[in-house]
Chains A and B, each alone.
Chain A
Amino acid sequence: EAGVAQSPRYKIIEKRQSVAFWCNPISGHATLYWYQQILGQGPKLLIQFQNNGVVDDSQLPKDRFSAERLKGVDSTLKIQPAKLEDSAVYLCASSLMAGSMNTEAFFGQGTRLTVV
């Protein structure tokens, strides 16, 4: 079974530039998460989709971050414009369905973003 695919693996941009990350979840998984992970810390939930609807985006800095999940499958996360403090690893995860008792989240390898 193919895992969660993310691209690119690494990205270096200058501050005030734009960047986009792509995620392809495991086939059949209804729930998709985007997390931001600062070096050495736990992942911070940015946005959660159930199919193509947003379930939780309370921690998403909406003035610069946006995300969409077209047709309830692939998803993109965009930052525009980027700031130095956005340097982090952006993890995508998917699960069969959120809210059920034993919902395991499967993670991609992440995209390491460096803003200079």
Chain B
Amino acid sequence: TQLLEQSPQFLSIQEGENLTVYCNSSSVFSSLQWYRQEPGEGPVLLVTVVTGGEVKKLKRLTFQFGDARKDSSLHITAAQPGDTGLYLCGGSQGNLIFGKGTKLSVKP
């Protein structure tokens, strides 16, 4: 059974702080994706990582794919209130499954 575990489940921080969100699995995925979801909306793709050990940067966000392609992390530098949302890790093995998400709240 495919399973993606995300941690932490909730994160409340002050503006300007750094944070890291983790996504782990016992399964190997052909790719991992990170999505961000705001209330009342569907998730929106942030990045896709495909190669083991891959690191991708998107402005203040840094994404890493584990060497064994079983885990990934999302690091946000100098968080801003606009980063508030539900961050979802999605794994693909021909389908697309998600972890339970990390609810991030960044307070001004």
Once the chains bind, are B33 and A104 in contact (CB under 8 Å)?
A: yes
Cβ of B42 and Cβ of A93 under 8 Å apart? yes
Q: A98 vs B97: C-alpha distance in the bound complex, in angstroms?
A: 12
B residues adjacent to A (C-beta < 8 A): 6, 30-31, 33, 40-45, 48, 50, 86, 88, 90, 92-101, 103
How would you classify the secondary structure of chain A's contact residues: helix, strand, loop or mixed? Answer: loop
Closest 10 CB pairs of A and B: A107-B42, A42-B98, A99-B94, A42-B101, A42-B100, A104-B45, A56-B95, A101-B50, A43-B98, A41-B100
- The CA of A91 and the CA of B31, in the complex, are separated in Å by 21
What size tier do the contact residues of chain A reach? 20 to 34
Q: Give A31 Cβ to nearest chain B Cβ, in Å.
A: 9
* Number of CB contacts from chain A to chain B under 8 A: 72
**In the complex, are the beta carbons of A105 and B96 less than 8 A apart?**
yes
Q: What is the chain A residue whose CB lies nearest that of B98?
A: A42
- Known interface pairs A104-B48, A105-B90; A91-B33 also in contact (CB < 8 Å): no
Most interface-central of B6, B88, B96, B100 (chain A CB within 10 A): B96
A110 within 8 A of B: yes
Residues on the A chain within 8 Å of B103, using CB: 40
Q: Given A101-B50, A102-B48, do A108 and B31 touch, yes or no (CB 8 Å)?
A: no
Chain B residues contacting A99 (CB-CB under 8 Å) are 30, 92-94
Contact B92 A42 (CB under 8 A): no
Contacts of B92 in A (CB 8 A): 98-99, 103
Chain B contacts of A33 at CB under 8 A? 95-96
Pull 28 A–B residue pairs with CB atoms less than 8 Å apart, ordered by A: A33-B96, A35-B98, A40-B86, A41-B101, A42-B99, A43-B88, A43-B98, A45-B96, A48-B95, A56-B94, A56-B95, A91-B43, A98-B95, A98-B96, A99-B30, A99-B93, A99-B94, A101-B30, A101-B31, A101-B48, A103-B31, A103-B96, A104-B45, A105-B43, A105-B90, A107-B42, A107-B43, A107-B44
